[in-house]
Amino acid sequence: MTDIATTRWPGIARAPRTPLKARVAKAILKPTVNHVPVRLTFANGSTWGAGGADSPEMRVVRPKSFFARLGADTKIGFGEAYMAGDWTTGTGTDLADLLEPFAARMATIVPVPLQRFRVFVDKKLPHHQRNSVKGSRKNIEAHYDLSNDLFAQFLDPTMSYSSAWFESPEQDLEAAQLRKIDAILDDANVTAGTRVLEIGSGWGALAIRAAQRGATVTTITLSSEQAALARQRFVEAGVDVDLQLVDYREVTGEYDAIVSVEMIEAVGEEYWATYFAKIDQLLAPGGRVAIQAITMDHHRYLATRNSYGWIQKYIFPGGLIPSLDAIDQTLGDYTGLTVTNRRSLGQDYARTLHEWRDRFTTNWEAVRVQGFDETFRRMWEFYLAYCEAGFRTGYLDVYQLAMGRPTEV
């Protein structure tokens, strides 16, 4: 196994010493996994799981460390064990294929009698990850300022870091991303002369597309790395876009169209009312809003809203996925806006993530030379496969939501 850098990955380099919790985790996992169509194989030849020889295989390399991590923190330990190499996939098993049966049973995989103890397992979001104006900047920088070159190794040429919308199995990722962007702009009625505000610039693809329609575009971001590359891309595309490094709460003006792609996940439940009220405040009479939002079923949102998991710790600090019901309720309570159209792209996201992971794996050497180590590689692979499995099973979905004021629609 490759040595893990202790200073960079203190929680991964050494497994926790919790023998009692490890035994409890082992005692719970065995009967649970025996109802899941997978195979857990161990070095001593033993096998757990309900899967046959052709089922996805999870190979437990270091059982002691694996169960110690699982016992110490159930929600985070499974992913950390993969990062550490305590478990891996068997020969011929794709990581998302292995995770899919678990994702499909996410709500019931813990036996019902034990779910009452969830309150003792769940950890709340750390205070430093709150999405205040200061906290949001730090949370965004932690992910999006990693390296533009890193993202370029697995994204398509548009540098779109959100779900594509595929027209057919034959359509390539770049064309599907442009189709997604055009759908958002169409939903917001963006044409020549439209005053557009984009909340969350990414690397500029949507702003470029809107400007090419003849719109007057303002786009905002908190990522200085993204801003630098986006400005370069605006010049290369020959478009005039006003990019501002500001928080959405600091924006002023009036806009005919407000668009935002997969940014609400970084807002935080505490600030949803502020976010949507600000959009309502900035929207001109007769204006339209179009957002793309990752969602989960309302009952799952209610069950996970106060928990702190692997994704928040390692990938998206401060992140929280809403439900459609939660969005509707917030709009009704704090704005004059209502959702006028919904378009699900859930299975498109599963394919998008799969293509990203293929590109990331293929181009790993170009990522590694930027200073990213093997632990980071396994973390990123787990993140992409974990999300892919969630969208495949419908545990997660993603919607394009068109909004307007009822009296003006």
Q: Which are the catalytic amino acids?
A: 387
Phi/psi for 235 (5° steps) reads -65, -45
* Strand 195-199 with 216-220, pairing: parallel
Within 10 Å of residue 347's Cβ, how many Cβ atoms? 15
d(CA 242, CA 217): 6
* Strand 396-404 with 255-261, pairing: unpaired
d(CA 288, CA 408): 9
Residue with tokens 């996410």: 106
Q: How many CA atoms lie within 13 A of 14 on its CB side?
A: 6
- 296: β partners: 396
Instruction: Label residue 357 exposed, middle or buried (CB < 10 Å: 0-12, 13-18, 19+).
Output: buried
Q: Which residues contact 404 (CB under 8 A, 6 or more apart)?
A: 287, 288, 289, 337, 338, 340
- For the record, the structure tokens of 140 come out as 């965004």
